[in-house]
Amino acid sequence: MISLEAAQERILAAIEPLPAEEIHVRDALGLYLAAPIHSPVDLPPADNSAVDGYAMRAADVASATTEHPISLRLSGQTQAGSLSAGCVEAGACARIFTGAMLPRGADAVVMQEDVQCAPAQPAEVIISEVVKPLENVRLRGEDIRENALLAGAGEELTAQRLSLLAGAGIAVVQAGRRPMAGLLATGDELCEAGRALPPGMIYESNRIGLSALAREAGAIPKIYPLVADDLVLTKQALQTAFQECDVVVTSGGVSVGEMDWVKQAFAEIGGQLDFWTVAIKPGKPFAFGRRGGKLLFGLPGNPVSALVTFFLLARPALLRLQGARELRPPASWGTLAGPLGYRGERRHFVLVVLDAGGQVKSAGSQASHNLSSMGRANGLVDMPLGARWPAGTRVAVLRWN
Ligand code: AMP
Ligand code: MG
């Protein structure tokens, strides 16, 4: 039995990111950059106005006061998207709109709310306050300089980051390919949801939960038909999944029972088992192996164990395959609403509910076959062996949705 960290390290050591692909930014949400991107342009590309108003020379109005206002001659107009209308001479100003290029000669803009225009003198603008040089001016390159780093390799393409890239004129990026994750469930007792449940059977739930977690980890899940507890059928199912997918995830049949065929079937189709059993609860029986550059995650059958081991061990692997830099799950700090303790012989990942106010509660029974607590839980708390924490303890919650 190995520690969770040792298991994670061994898995990640076995993985190279999949080859990167060129992809348009409009299709790149949630992918990971394969290489850093530098800005091909200055942003903003030119000095421009931050407001609707009048562009002028600050020196012309350096002595303006309410008692002694200064009148400027209106000499032109410039709007966003057009080239600036010539040059603002001394004693003159130009009408300007937000985002429009600053005309030559001008070095400041006064907001239109701060000037007076006499209806009888439409060509004159009256300023009664000092305007500082560069007031309401956005300078070329003040946001981003040409060649500055926009995003690093391994960074996720979020809505915000995609907006930044598009703003710098980047239409196509190199990003890691999404891995195909094949999902198999083994067990003679399993019945597809949506059918009548024969006696002695249970509804199969792991492929659905695991495919959702795989999708959240950026993979493309592929759900395979149920696999009976039979060596030959298990080998056939594994063979097909390994042909079609980058990663194969099985649930059930990985324990020590006579009906647990996954490890043997995997070995018989040429797979190399790397390790088996990890010192965590839920989820001790967990098998990891490799076959021709592809990976097997053999998860325990109990639903909580299956989803927790996937989250802790398969999720980082799927992210690494995509070239992601951050492989840890997002964590939030919260405060225990009640005591949390656990008597067991392994480090425990406790199903919890973290509410919007930062309170953390146990999600209920922590038995690994119970679906109710898992259905409620939005996070996991990593509890060392023998830990007992009183209400009010600050805890890190690994968020799994
Ligand atoms: P196993 O690891 O195959 O011994 O399964 C352990 C427990 O998990 C048994 O009670 C199984 O019935 C249950 N189980 C196994 N696979 C699934 C599944 N895909 N969905 C729901 N329960 C499962
Ligand atoms: Mg089974």
Q: How many angstroms does the Cα of residue 302 sit away from the middle of ligand 1?
A: 5
Q: How many angstroms does the Cα of residue 310 sit away from the middle of ligand 1?
A: 15
**Which bound ligand lies closest to the C-alpha atom of 185?**
1
Question: Phi and psi for 200 in degrees, rounded to 5?
Answer: 85, -5
**How many whole angstroms separate alpha carbon 89 and alpha carbon 350?**
72
Q: How many angstroms does the Cα of residue 101 sit away from the middle of ligand 2?
A: 69
Burial class (CB in 10 A: 0-12, 13-18, 19+), 278: buried
**Which bound ligand lies closest to the C-alpha atom of 371?**
1
DSSP per-residue letters across 210-252 = HHHHHHHTT-EEEEPPPB-S-HHHHHHHHHHHHHH-SEEEEES
- Taking alpha carbons only, the member of 204, 195, 249, 202 closest to residue 222 is 249
Pick left, alpha or beta for residue 310 (phi over 0 → left; psi -120 to 50 → alpha; otherwise beta): alpha
**Which bound ligand lies closest to the C-alpha atom of 305?**
1
Query: What count of Cα atoms within 13 Å lies in the side-chain half-sphere of residue 309?
Result: 34
Nearest CA to ligand 1 atom 10: 302
- 373 sits in which H/E element: helix 371-376
Nearest CA to ligand 1 atom 23: 301
Q: Say what the pLDDT of residue 254 is.
A: 85
Q: What is the pLDDT of residues 342-365, one digit of tens each?
A: 778 899 999 999 999 999 999 999
Quote the DSSP letter at residue 390: -
Cα R_g (the chain), whole angstroms: 31
Residues with CB under 6 A from ligand 1: 185, 187, 189-190, 202, 204-206, 251-253, 255, 257, 300-303, 369
Q: How many angstroms does the Cα of residue 379 sit away from the middle of ligand 2?
A: 26
Q: Say what the pLDDT of residue 342 is.
A: 79
Please give the number of the atom of ligand 1 that sits closest to the Cα of 253.
Answer: 3
Q: How many angstroms does the Cα of residue 257 sit away from the middle of ligand 2?
A: 8
**Which bound ligand lies closest to the C-alpha atom of 226?**
1
Please give the number of the atom of ligand 1 that sits closest to the Cα of 305.
Answer: 8
Residue 64 in tokens: 């303006």
Mutational pocket test of ligand 1: of 183, 188, 190, the residue with most ligand atoms within 8 Å of the beta carbon? 190
Q: How many angstroms does the Cα of residue 187 sit away from the middle of ligand 1?
A: 7
The amino acid that residue 369 corresponds to is: H
Query: Judging by DSSP bridges, how do beta strands 272-276 and 287-291 pair with one another?
Result: antiparallel
Mutational pocket test of ligand 1: of 251, 262, 263, 368, the residue with most ligand atoms within 8 Å of the beta carbon? 251
**Cross-strand bridge partners of residue 248:** 182, 296
Q: How many angstroms does the Cα of residue 201 sit away from the middle of ligand 2?
A: 12
Which regions in the chain score pLDDT beneath 70? 84-85
The amino acid that residue 196 corresponds to is: A
Q: Say what the pLDDT of residue 81 is.
A: 87
The amino acid that residue 383 corresponds to is: M
Q: Say what the pLDDT of residue 84 is.
A: 66
Q: How many angstroms does the Cα of residue 220 sit away from the middle of ligand 1?
A: 23
Q: How far is CA 187 from the centre of its chain?
A: 34
**Which bound ligand lies closest to the C-alpha atom of 188?**
2
**How many whole angstroms separate alpha carbon 327 and alpha carbon 343?**
30
Residue 261 in tokens: 């065929």
Count of CB atoms within 10 A of residue 241's CB?
Answer: 23
Q: Say what the pLDDT of residue 303 is.
A: 97
Q: What is the pLDDT of residues 212-225, one digit of tens each?
A: 999 999 999 999 99
Nearest CA to ligand 1 atom 5: 301
Q: How many angstroms does the Cα of residue 6 sit away from the middle of ligand 1?
A: 26
Q: Say what the pLDDT of residue 85 is.
A: 60
- 95 sits in which H/E element: strand 92-96
Q: Say what the pLDDT of residue 82 is.
A: 82
**Which bound ligand lies closest to the C-alpha atom of 251?**
1
Q: Say what the pLDDT of residue 260 is.
A: 87
Q: How many angstroms does the Cα of residue 305 sit away from the middle of ligand 1?
A: 10
Residue 211 in tokens: 């495919």
Please give the number of the atom of ligand 1 that sits closest to the Cα of 189.
Answer: 12
Nearest CA to ligand 1 atom 12: 189
Contact predicate 280/382, CB 8 Å: no
